[in-house]
Amino acid sequence: MTGMDLVVPVRPGAVNQQLRYALRSWAAHVPHRRVWLVGYRPPWVEAVHYLSTPQTGTKYVNTTRAVAAACRNRGVSDPFVLMNDDFFVMEPLTDGVPVLHRGPVAEVEAYYAGRGNGHYLRGLRETRDLLVGLGHDDPLSYELHVPLVVHKEGMLHALDVGRRLEVLHKRTAYGVLAGIGGERAEDVKVMWRGPKIPAGPFLSTMPDAIDNGMVGGRIRSAFTAPGPYEKGGGW
């Protein structure tokens, strides 16, 4: 795992507290070779590699462009670890990045249908229908807020297969088409300010949750010192 790069799509915005603490957590707990920011590079970041990609589409289009750019760049390791800028690793990954899934897409669909999640839910259904049409009758969902090891050829194939979908669930398409298997896990995204914080090595947050919630306090207290990817010693 020490030979793998970490790849993180980043949206425009100089103030990104989630990315700051995510980088600190990766430096502390994730053995890796390099960090690649793809899309946007905040001015306070240093010692990372950067790929500029257009930020003219929806967040789904922009992140798909970012992942495709990383797959096509020869400097990025193959495989690499796909991150989000709100992924926090709270414990050392001494045994590497686990392969995790969320269970059958049908069950995840039922969860989001109850919440009325428009674009995301439509993309889930279209990705499911695409995979079913390719012979995967009961596909698994890999839409968890945790790191994912990505092999470039497999991801580029998944992106090509799903290129006509406006909101492709690319982690799911990749996981199913590449047959990565894995263990079932609950999602670790913390949506609110309250005290419920998932156990285990992984956390993810919404901006309000890290700014004002109990989970934000836990993350900040775990990583008080500036990391190697911050200019001038932090803030």
pLDDT band at 13 (very low <50, low <70, confident <90, very high): confident
Instruction: Give the other-Cβ count within 10 Å of 108's Cβ.
Output: 22
Do 168 and 110 contact (CB within 8 A), yes or no? no
Q: Is the pLDDT reported for residue 233 higher than 60?
A: no
Query: Given this model, what pLDDT does residue 117 score?
Result: 67
**Mean pLDDT of the residues in the chain:** 94
pTM over 0.85? The answer is: yes
Q: Which domains does the chain have, with CATH numbers?
A: 6-233 (3.90.550)
Please give the Cα distance from 139 to 147 (Å, whole number).
20
Give per-residue pLDDT as tens, 30-89.
999 999 999 999 999 999 999 999 999 999 999 999 999 999 999 999 999 999 999 999
Contacts of 163 (CB under 8 A, 6+ apart): none
Contacts of 12 (CB under 8 A, 6+ apart): 39, 40, 55
Give per-residue pLDDT as tens, 161-206.
999 999 999 999 999 999 999 999 999 999 999 888 999 999 999 9
Locate 120 and state its tokens: 């995301």
